[in-house]
């Protein structure tokens, strides 16, 4: 079917570009540079090792320096264990099996620690993640072959060849803690035979709605549900919320947040608690002892020693087979007892659940999910629930060509357009003042959004306004180009002045401890550096630094703050606005604020795009427009 052939083509383009970028980051760079890019831990110390499934060796390592450098290591990723003594030859590949804090476990494709692990300094480095691409590719190929048979209704519906169906005779079960539109969404999910879509604009309680819907589905018929999302963070949030509702949740894969509560839901932790695990542990210890004895025969070799060594190894292998069987039994038992299994999209194909089928799969944050990755869990189910907001950030794509050829259009977006009858929009939001919400509602949500009474008019102090647009047109604040990123130091100075004044106005109402939270957002990375530099030299803001976060729009997706400042940065005579034209990204930025949103920008440059021209008109209507001249 052309549908899947096209997806396979664009996935191939994306994979190539991703691989080339990885190559550029690793091939000609030093260990120190790769460490700074988050690809390498070096130096590391070995903290322990044990035999694991399939006679492989799992080594636990800890990084001993550069502990504050952020990194990209996650469970399931391919990596290499190496020594700097001879990095070309002293290396063995494996998979990260666990990561938390400054320790990780890597399962190596060998059954003993190589001799070179005693020479020189050791490190671990991420390899290019072919496995995820293979999983996506296999899922698309399988979906393609299913689309040609008559039996797979779900594939036909998701690709637009058939329409979804709904049960009409379900008695409604209103849930008192949900509002009207949330209850409608739960009813739609219960009634759907193949597809339901929850469109959750900012602050509308999408997670709360999903959790209640999952509970309702389990009440309706107690069949295991698979719940997935593109990122570990999103999976963690749902896992925790479902667990709080008293459901038996099994979190497959490695949580991003290392909280006790989450760890208790993981397969590793549940296995460790299982009553049969004591026996397996004893056997494992025995196998390791046999192995260690075998290694003693390494140095002085005759036929007798060789035979003795082989016998010990054979015995260790035999015991490990038994351990493997016991562990598999424990895993099957835990999976059977779970009501909800949670994982990332690609993680839904890990060995312990690879061959399971589910009645329902729920995909959260579907607006940020690559379509090929969605097909991995979808093919395990008869019914899919997509939840997200296609008016916020789309997935990150490395290749512009792949994005242009359709990879940036998500399955959520396609299904909303194809099957409006499957969509429920959540209409009441619990985050923003009505003035902050209004423009976003008008442009993206057909004016459907309502502000809940608890937030509609909430303010920082009596009489404060919730919205401000500060127009720098005519001030001569011209942008500068630094590398590939724009900066605007004068705009940053103006913003800091305004914030300093606001903080002074707020200080009679709040102590530094319960001070409102503040986000300073700019779409431009270099402008963030300028803002941070100025923040460090703003004496009146120092007592409040713990409450102020400066970052990109993408890093605030899914978060909220009491006060949000946006530095638009672009200011030039040609009306060039670059990627400010990505209005979905702007939607995210503008809807992070709870009580006050202040946008600083040059109307003459911005108004070249109708989206900004209309926003400026909207702010004038609310008396929220101010020229930087009168303010200065």
Report whether 350 contacts 235 (CB < 8 A): no
Residue 297 has pLDDT above 80, yes or no: no
Residue 299 has pLDDT above 90, yes or no: no
Sign of CA dihedral 180, 186, 191, 192: positive
For the domain that residue 49 is a member of, what is the CATH number?
A: 2.40.30.270
State the DSSP H helix or E strand holding residue 600, giving kind and residue range, or none if neither. Answer: strand 593-601
Residue 85 has pLDDT above 90, yes or no: no
Same structural domain, 162 and 105: no
Same structural domain, 547 and 569: yes
What is the residue whose two structure tokens read 């320096």? 65
Q: What per-residue confidence (pLDDT) applies to 112?
A: 83
Report whether 224 contacts 341 (CB < 8 A): yes
- Report d(CA 304, CA 152) in Å as an integer: 61
- Report d(CA 100, CA 236) in Å as an integer: 14
Residue 16 burial class via C-beta count within 10 angstroms: exposed 0-12, middle 13-18, buried 19 and up: middle
Confidence at 300, pLDDT banded by 50, 70, 90 = low
Among left, alpha and beta (phi > 0; psi -120 to 50; other), residue 218 is: alpha
Q: Taking all residues of the chain, what is their mean pLDDT, rounded to a whole number?
A: 93
Domain boundary among 302, 336, 370: 336
Report whether 99 contacts 232 (CB < 8 A): no
pTM: 0.92
Domain assignment present for residue 22? The answer is: no
Same structural domain, 97 and 138: no
pLDDT digit string (tens) for 220-232? 999 999 999 999 8
Buried-exposed string 492-531: b where 16+ CB fall within 10 A, e elsewhere: bebbbebbeebbeebeeebeeeebbbbbbbbbbebbbbbb
pLDDT digit string (tens) for 305-357? 888 888 988 898 899 899 999 999 999 999 999 999 999 999 999 989 999 99
Domain assignment present for residue 17? The answer is: no
Same structural domain, 360 and 212: yes
Same structural domain, 240 and 310: no
Q: What per-residue confidence (pLDDT) applies to 74?
A: 85
- Per-position DSSP letters for 331-395, written without gaps between them: HHHHHHH-SEEEEETGGGGSTTTTT--EEEEEESSGGGS-HHHHHHHHTTEEEEEEEE-TTSPPP
Report whether 154 contacts 192 (CB < 8 A): no
Same structural domain, 437 and 332: no
For the domain that residue 377 is a member of, what is the CATH number?
A: 3.40.50.300
The pLDDT of 37-41, averaged and rounded, is: 93
Residue 451 has pLDDT above 90, yes or no: yes
Return the closest-CA partner of residue 565 out of 535, 526, 608. 535
Quote the DSSP letter at residue 297: T
Residue 151 has pLDDT above 80, yes or no: no
Residue 573 burial class via C-beta count within 10 angstroms: exposed 0-12, middle 13-18, buried 19 and up: exposed
Same structural domain, 515 and 386: no
Quote the DSSP letter at residue 173: -
Compute the CA torsion angle 335, 337, 342, 347 (nearest 10 deg).
0
Same structural domain, 309 and 328: yes
Contacts 24+ apart (CB under 8 A), 34-38: 34/125, 35/66, 35/69, 36/69, 38/69, 38/70, 38/71, 38/72, 38/73
Domain range for 582 is 432-630
Domain boundary among 127, 142, 176: 127
Q: What per-residue confidence (pLDDT) applies to 298?
A: 63
Same structural domain, 471 and 562: yes
Same structural domain, 390 and 466: no
Same structural domain, 184 and 55: no
Domain assignment present for residue 5? The answer is: no
Q: What per-residue confidence (pLDDT) applies to 252?
A: 94
Residue 273 has pLDDT above 80, yes or no: yes
What total of structural domains would you count in the chain? Answer: 4
The pLDDT of 212-238, averaged and rounded, is: 95
């Amino acid at each position: 079917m052309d549908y899947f052939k096209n997806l396979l083509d664009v996935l191939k383009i994306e994979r190539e570009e991703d691989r080339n970028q990885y190559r550029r980051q690793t091939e000609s760079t030093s260990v120190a540079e790769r460490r700074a890019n988050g690809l390498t831990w070096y130096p590391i110390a070995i903290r322990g090792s044990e035999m694991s499934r399939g006679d492989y060796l799992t080594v636990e390592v800890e990084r001993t320096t550069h502990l504050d450098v952020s990194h990209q290591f996650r469970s399931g990723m391919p990596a290499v264990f190496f020594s700097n003594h001879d990095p070309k030859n002293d290396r063995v590949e494996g998979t990260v099996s666990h990561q938390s804090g400054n320790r990780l476990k890597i399962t190596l494709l060998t059954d003993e620690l190589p001799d070179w692990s005693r020479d020189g300094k050791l490190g671990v480095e991420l390899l290019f993640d072919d496995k995820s691409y293979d999983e996506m590719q296999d899922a698309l190929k399988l979906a393609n072959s299913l689309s040609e048979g008559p039996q797979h209704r779900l594939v036909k519906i998701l690709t637009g060849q058939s329409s979804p169906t709904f049960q009409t005779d379900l008695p409604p079960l209103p849930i008192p803690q949900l509002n009207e539109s949330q209850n409608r969404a739960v009813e739609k999910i219960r009634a759907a035979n193949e597809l339901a879509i929850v469109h959750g604009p900012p602050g509308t309680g999408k997670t709360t709605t999903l959790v209640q819907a999952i509970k309702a589905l389990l009440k309706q018929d107690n069949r295991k549900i698979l719940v997935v999302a593109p990122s570990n963070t999103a999976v963690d949030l749902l896992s925790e919320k479902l667990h709080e509702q008293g459901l038996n949740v099994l979190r497959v894969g490695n949580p991003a947040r290392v909280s006790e509560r989450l760890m208790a839901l993981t397969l590793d932790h549940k296995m460790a608690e299982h009553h049969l695990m004591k026996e397996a542990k004893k056997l494992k210890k025995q196998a390791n002892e046999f192995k260690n004895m075998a290694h003693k025969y390494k140095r002085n070799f005759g036929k007798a020693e060789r035979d003795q060594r082989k016998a010990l190894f054979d015995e260790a292998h035999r015991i490990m087979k038994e351990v493997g069987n016991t562990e598999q039994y424990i895993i099957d038992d835990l999976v059977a007892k779970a009501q909800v299994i949670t994982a990332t999209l690609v993680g839904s194909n890990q060995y312990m659940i690879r061959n399971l089928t589910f009645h329902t799969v729920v995909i959260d944050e579907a607006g940020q999910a690559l379509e090929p990755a969605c097909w991995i869990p979808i093919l395990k189910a008869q019914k899919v629930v997509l939840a997200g907001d296609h008016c916020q950030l789309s997935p990150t794509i490395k290749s512009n060509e792949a994005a242009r050829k359709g990879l940036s259009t998500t399955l959520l977006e396609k299904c909303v357009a194809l099957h409006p009858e499957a969509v429920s929009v959540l209409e009441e939001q619990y985050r923003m003042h009505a003035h902050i919400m209004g423009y976003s509602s008008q442009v993206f949500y057909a004016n459907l959004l309502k502000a809940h009474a608890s937030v509609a008019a909430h303010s920082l102090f009596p009489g404060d306004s919730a919205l401000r647009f500060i127009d720098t047109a005519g001030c001569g604040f011209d942008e500068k180009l630094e590398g590939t990123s724009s900066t605007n130091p004068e705009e940053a100075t103006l913003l800091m002045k305004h914030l300093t004044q606001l903080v002074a106005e707020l200080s009679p109402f709040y102590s530094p401890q319960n001070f409102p939270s503040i986000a300073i957002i700019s779409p431009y990375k270099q402008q963030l550096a300028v803002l941070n530099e100025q923040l460090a030299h703003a004496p009146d803001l120092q007592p409040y630094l713990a409450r102020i976060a400066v970052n990109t729009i993408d890093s605030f997706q899914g978060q909220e703050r009491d006060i949000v400042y946006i530095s638009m940065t672009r200011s030039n005579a040609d009306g060039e606005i670059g990627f400010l034209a990505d209005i979905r990204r702007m939607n995210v930025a503008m809807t992070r604020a709870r009580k006050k949103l202040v946008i600083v920008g040059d109307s003459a440059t911005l108004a070249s795009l109708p989206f900004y021209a209309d926003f400026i008109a909207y702010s004038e209507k609310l008396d929220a427009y101010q020229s930087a001249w009168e303010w200065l």
